[in-house]
Amino acid sequence: MKRAVSFVQKSSEWVRKPKHIDANLKDYFKTYKTFRWKSVEKEFDWSRTKKVNIVHEMIDRHAASTRKNKVALFYWDPSPSAGYPQGRDEKYTFLDLKNESSRFGNVLKKMGVRKGDRVAVFLPRTPELYISILGIHRVGAIPVPLFEAFMETAIEDRLSNSEAKAIITASQLLERIPFSKLPCLKEVCLVGGDGEVMPSLPTSVRLISYTEEMQKASRELEPVWLNLNDGLVIHYTSGSTGRSKGVLHRQYAMLGHYQTAKWALDLRDDDVYWCTADPGWVTGTSYGIYGPWTLGISSVVLGGRFSAQQWYQTIEKYRVTVWYSAPTAFRMLMSKGEALPKSCDLKSLRHICSVGEPLNPEALRWVWKVTGIPPHETWWMTETGMQIVCNYRSLDFKVGATGRPFPGTYATVVNDKGEEVPPNTLGNLVVKAGWPSMMKEIWGNKGKYNEYFRLKGWYLSGDTCYKDKEGFIWFAGRADDVIKTAGERVGPFEVESALVQHPAVAEAGVIGKPDELRGQLIKAFISLRSGFSPSEDLKKEIAEFVKKNMAAHAAPREIEFCERVPKTRSGKIMRRVLRAWDQGLPVGDISTMEE
Least distance in angstroms from the C-beta of 145 to ligand WTA: 13
CB nearer ligand WTA, residue 161 or residue 354: 354
- Asked if 476 interacts with ligand WTA (CB under 6 A), we say no
> Residue 119 forms beta bridges with which residues?
143, 166
Residue 562: partners with Cβ closer than 8 Å, 6 or more residues away = 525, 526, 527, 581
- Asked if 377 interacts with ligand WTA (CB under 6 A), we say yes
Determine contact, residues 100/92, Cβ cutoff 8 Å: yes
Stretch that binds ligand WTA, among 52-60, 340-348, 349-357, 431-439 (CB under 6 A): 349-357
Integer Cα distance of 341 and 371 in angstroms: 8
Integer Cα distance of 289 and 296 in angstroms: 10
DSSP strands (E only) in 124-186? 142-146, 166-170
Least distance in angstroms from the C-beta of 282 to ligand WTA: 5
Determine contact, residues 93/264, Cβ cutoff 8 Å: no
Integer Cα distance of 420 and 110 in angstroms: 54
Q: Which of 297, 381, 498, 510 binds ligand WTA (CB under 6 A)?
A: 381
Least distance in angstroms from the C-beta of 387 to ligand WTA: 8
Q: How many residues does the chain have?
A: 595
CB nearer ligand WTA, residue 106 or residue 237: 237
Q: Give the containing element (helix H, strand E) for 263.
A: helix 254-263
Nearest Cα to Cα of residue 511 among 460, 549, 477: 477
Q: Which of 102, 283, 394, 497 binds ligand WTA (CB under 6 A)?
A: 283
Angle between helical axes of 327-335 and 361-371 (0-180°, round to 10) = 70
CB nearer ligand WTA, residue 190 or residue 363: 363
CB nearer ligand WTA, residue 190 or residue 381: 381
- Asked if 260 interacts with ligand WTA (CB under 6 A), we say no
Integer Cα distance of 367 and 581 in angstroms: 35
> Residue 236 forms beta bridges with which residues?
246
- Chain positions 415 to 474 lying near ligand WTA, rule: CB under 6 A, are 461-463
Nearest Cα to Cα of residue 398 among 7, 14, 5: 14
- Asked if 400 interacts with ligand WTA (CB under 6 A), we say no
- Asked if 382 interacts with ligand WTA (CB under 6 A), we say yes
Least distance in angstroms from the C-beta of 489 to ligand WTA: 4
Q: Which of 402, 412, 437, 485 binds ligand WTA (CB under 6 A)?
A: 402
DSSP strands (E only) in 326-380? 351-354, 376-379
- Asked if 101 interacts with ligand WTA (CB under 6 A), we say no
Least distance in angstroms from the C-beta of 487 to ligand WTA: 7
Applying CB under 6 A, the site for ligand WTA has a residue count of 21
- Asked if 154 interacts with ligand WTA (CB under 6 A), we say no
Alpha helix locations (H) across 429-508? Answer: 446-451, 492-499
Q: Annotate 153-186 with b (16+ C-beta within 10 A) or e (fewer).
A: bbbbbbbbbbebbbbbbbbebbebbebeebeebb
Stretch that binds ligand WTA, among 107-115, 311-319, 379-387, 573-581 (CB under 6 A): 379-387
Coil, helix or strand for 172?
Answer: helix
- Asked if 276 interacts with ligand WTA (CB under 6 A), we say no
Stretch that binds ligand WTA, among 18-26, 194-202, 355-363, 521-529 (CB under 6 A): 355-363
Which residue of the chain is nearest ligand WTA when measured via CB? 382
How many other β-carbons are positioned within 10 Å of the β-carbon of residue 22?
11
- Asked if 394 interacts with ligand WTA (CB under 6 A), we say no
Q: Annotate 349-362 with b (16+ C-beta within 10 A) or e (fewer).
A: bbbbbbbbbbbbee
- Asked if 371 interacts with ligand WTA (CB under 6 A), we say no
Determine contact, residues 506/529, Cβ cutoff 8 Å: yes
Least distance in angstroms from the C-beta of 165 to ligand WTA: 26
CB nearer ligand WTA, residue 121 or residue 355: 355
- Asked if 484 interacts with ligand WTA (CB under 6 A), we say yes
Least distance in angstroms from the C-beta of 475 to ligand WTA: 4
- Asked if 182 interacts with ligand WTA (CB under 6 A), we say no
Residues that bind ligand WTA (CB under 6 A): 237, 282-283, 355-358, 377-382, 402, 461-463, 475, 478, 484, 489
